[in-house]
């Protein structure tokens, strides 16, 4: 797919598309930027205005004029300049579920028309060829505050508004789980939203909308006051969002990718956000103004995880073919390659003293890396060995799916053996918990086996949490360490 979000390519691209479908007479050399009057109005007129026009306004939405579209419907604005992924109008025409898609009871809009609407929103909602692009919402609402807020009451959600949840046909897997470093609080990814959970009771404290799609990564800032959520929709859009944990307010939106973000982290000084995914590069954005500061190029496959060291000096990134790179977090210079994994790296986690990085992967390996030397201090082959089912020969998948350090250097992992394990600093196994029980092993919706997807250790080291591929959460008391 051609890069659509870059304003420079859009006009030619749109002209070619339009020519192809004969919808609007534009010549290939038409220099007009994608705009409402010349390109978008005709699409809406043909597919939408019978229900959202001058005569009828379903959901209070009139799209018969530029001004009316900008006004939005009874549910609020439907377009956000520069951000198709966050725009209701774009979302409803690209919804996979036919019940949520517009136009209702009809075929989806042709791809070319969807691309024009996307380009129109992303390039700034021009009314006509002569209008200037509306600026994308600036992200200067965010003021990095690392170092502050480390004392005083730990940040907890206060009186968030109730949000309407998007129903999904089947339970949504726990794609991301994060525990607050300072409060009895965990954040759990759900479809188009993030739930805040009490780690001990499992009760939901509040939920925040993530209209961009699936959150693949959740990370708390060191003070616990900020939550980073990153994700999006496959081959459509990807972003990282910063939220204020107390108020639930969205503080900044970073990146405007054409694929879901799969790896991300907030630097400990809160100045930068790193995002990565299928693009194989790591982009570093300034949290103050959303500007792209640096693009790190080295990985040759999808990047699956990224983590800043707690001291802010290094950034570790891992990819789908087992490579891990350490970067200087400030200059972006390559520091070290860490080569040990023979399969996709699934997770990276730093011990709180920044001396040890843990990695795990589909090769069944868990490695505790000594960062000063760049080699494994301890490693555990076949850390999660699944039982061989009767009559099954050859290699059985023994991947380790997640790894997360707790406050005292204990490491939690989960794997394809349906087990969640807790390891001591020296790699000795301390505890194992099975998520296998007769009712939950088979996901009745797809007939596949349910696997643990994410693990986390609560702030005081007293509770081990896990989420599974059927959206269920687990917590086990493991004895307080603080
Ligand atoms: C046959 C009638 C019909 C057509 C055609 C139609 N819509 Fe709708 N639209 C509706 C109805 C009914 C609702 C309210 C649905 C609801 O509230 O569940 C709606 C709601 C919406 C909303 C608001 C959703 C929200 O929750 O905020 C948007 C945006 C929208 N439509 C966009 C479009 C677009 C874009 C098109 C053309 C591609 C379109 N619609 C075509 C009937 C239609």
Q: What is the pLDDT of residue 11?
A: 39
Looking at the predicted structure, is the pLDDT value of residue 22 above 60?
no
105 CA from centroid of ligand 1 (Å): 11
Mean local confidence (pLDDT), 169-186: 93
95 CB under 6 A from ligand 1?
A: no
Looking at the predicted structure, is the pLDDT value of residue 475 above 90?
yes
DSSP string, 95-125: -SSTTT-SSTTSPPPPHHHHHHHHHHHHTT-
Residues 281-339 pLDDT 10s:
999 999 988 889 999 999 999 999 999 999 999 999 999 999 999 999 999 999 999 99
103 CB under 6 A from ligand 1?
A: yes
Mean local confidence (pLDDT), 24-30: 46
399 close to 363: Cβ distance less than 8 angstroms? yes
More confident residue, 28 or 125: 125
75 CB under 6 A from ligand 1?
A: yes
* Residue nearest (by alpha carbon) to ligand 1 atom 21: 59
58 CB under 6 A from ligand 1?
A: yes
Mean local confidence (pLDDT), 24-37: 68
Separation CA 217–CA 262 (nearest Å): 7
211 CA from centroid of ligand 1 (Å): 17
Region of residue 391 (left: phi > 0; alpha: psi -120 to 50; beta: else): left
Separation CA 254–CA 383 (nearest Å): 36
Q: What is the pLDDT of residue 23?
A: 41
194 CA from centroid of ligand 1 (Å): 25
Residues 367-412 pLDDT 10s:
999 999 889 999 999 999 988 777 777 788 899 999 999 999 999 9
329 close to 319: Cβ distance less than 8 angstroms? no
Confidence (pTM): 0.71
Region of residue 466 (left: phi > 0; alpha: psi -120 to 50; beta: else): beta
Q: What is the pLDDT of residue 142?
A: 72
58 CA from centroid of ligand 1 (Å): 6
DSSP string, 291-341: -EEEEEE--SS-EEEEEE-TTSSEEEEEETTSEEEEEETTT--EEEEEE--
Residues 424-435 pLDDT 10s:
988 999 999 998
139 CA from centroid of ligand 1 (Å): 30
What is the tally of helices (H) and strands (E) in the chain?
5, 29
Q: Which of 20-24, 174-178, 336-340, 417-421 has the lowest mean pLDDT?
A: 20-24
78 CB under 6 A from ligand 1?
A: yes
* Residue nearest (by alpha carbon) to ligand 1 atom 10: 58
* φ/ψ (deg, to 5) at 58: -60, 140
State percent of the chain over pLDDT 70. 89
42 CB under 6 A from ligand 1?
A: no
Q: What is the pLDDT of residue 24?
A: 42
More confident residue, 432 or 152: 432
Q: Where would I find the H helices in 358-404?
A: none
Q: Which of 179-183, 225-229, 305-309, 449-453 has the lowest mean pLDDT?
A: 449-453
102 CB under 6 A from ligand 1?
A: yes
Q: What is the pLDDT of residue 170?
A: 80
* Residue nearest (by alpha carbon) to ligand 1 atom 43: 51
Q: What is the pLDDT of residue 54?
A: 87
In the chain, CATH 2.130.10.10 sits at 177-477
89 CB under 6 A from ligand 1?
A: yes
92 CA from centroid of ligand 1 (Å): 8
Q: Quick one: DSSP state of residue 52? A: B
361 CA from centroid of ligand 1 (Å): 44
Using alpha carbons, select from 85, 172, 68, 47 the residue that is nearest to residue 127: 68
Separation CA 401–CA 238 (nearest Å): 22
State percent of the chain over pLDDT 90. 67
Region of residue 200 (left: phi > 0; alpha: psi -120 to 50; beta: else): alpha
> Could you identify the atom of ligand 1 that is nearest to the CA of residue 76?
27
CATH code given to domain 177-477: 2.130.10.10
3 CA from centroid of ligand 1 (Å): 28
């Amino acid at each position: 797919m051609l890069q659509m979000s870059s304003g420079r390519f859009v006009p030619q691209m749109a002209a070619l598309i339009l020519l192809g479908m004969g919808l609007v007479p534009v010549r290939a050399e038409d220099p007009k930027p994608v705009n409402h009057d010349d390109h978008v109005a005709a699409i809406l007129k043909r597919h939408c205005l019978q229900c959202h026009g001058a005569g009828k306004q379903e959901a209070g939405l009139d799209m018969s004029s530029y001004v009316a579209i900008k006004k939005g419907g009874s549910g609020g604005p439907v377009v956000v300049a520069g951000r198709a992924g966050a725009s209701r109008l774009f979302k409803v025409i690209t919804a996979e579920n036919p019940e949520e898609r517009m136009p209702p009871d009809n075929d989806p809009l042709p791809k070319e028309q969807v691309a024009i609407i996307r380009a129109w929103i992303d390039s700034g909602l021009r009314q006509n060829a002569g209008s200037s692009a509306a600026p994308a919402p600036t992200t200067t609402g965010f003021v990095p505050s690392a170092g502050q807020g480390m004392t005083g009451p730990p940040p907890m959600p206060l009186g968030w508004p109730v949000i309407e949840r998007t129903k999904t046909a089947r339970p949504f897997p726990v794609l991301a789980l994060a525990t607050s470093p300072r409060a009895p609080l965990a954040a759990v990814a759900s479809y188009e939203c993030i739930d805040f959970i009490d780690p001990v009771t499992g009760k939901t404290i509040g939920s925040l909308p993530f209209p961009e799609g699936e959150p693949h990564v959740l990370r708390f800032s060191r003070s616990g006051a900020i939550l980073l959520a990153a994700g999006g929709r496959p081959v459509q859009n990807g972003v990282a969002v910063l939220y204020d944990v107390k108020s639930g307010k969205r503080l900044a939106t970073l990146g405007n990718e054409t694929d879901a973000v799969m790896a991300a982290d907030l630097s400990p000084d809160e100045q930068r956000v790193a995002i990565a995914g299928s693009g194989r590069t790591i982009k570093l954005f300034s949290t103050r103004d959303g500007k792209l500061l640096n693009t790190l190029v080295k990985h040759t496959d999808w990047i699956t995880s990224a983590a800043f060291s707690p001291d802010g000096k290094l950034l570790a990134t891992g990819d789908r073919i087992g490579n891990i790179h350490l970067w200087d977090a400030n200059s972006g210079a390559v520091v070290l390659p860490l080569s040990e994994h023979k399969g996709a790296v699934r997770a990276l986690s730093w011990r709180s003293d920044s001396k040890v990085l843990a990695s795990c992967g589909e090769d069944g390996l868990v490695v505790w890396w000594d960062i000063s030397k760049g080699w494994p201090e301890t490693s555990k082959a076949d850390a999660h060995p699944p039982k061989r089912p009767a009559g099954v020969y050859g290699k059985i998948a023994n991947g380790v799916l997640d790894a997360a350090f707790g406050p005292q250097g204990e490491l939690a992992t989960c794997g394809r053996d349906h087990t969640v394990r807790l390891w001591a600093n020296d790699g000795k196994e301390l505890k194992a918990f099975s998520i296998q029980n007769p009712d939950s092993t088979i996901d009745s919706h797809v007939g596949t086996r349910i696997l643990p997807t994410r693990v986390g250790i609560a702030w005081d080291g007293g509770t081990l949490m896990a989420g599974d591929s059927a959206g269920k959460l687990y917590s086990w008391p493991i004895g307080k360490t603080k």
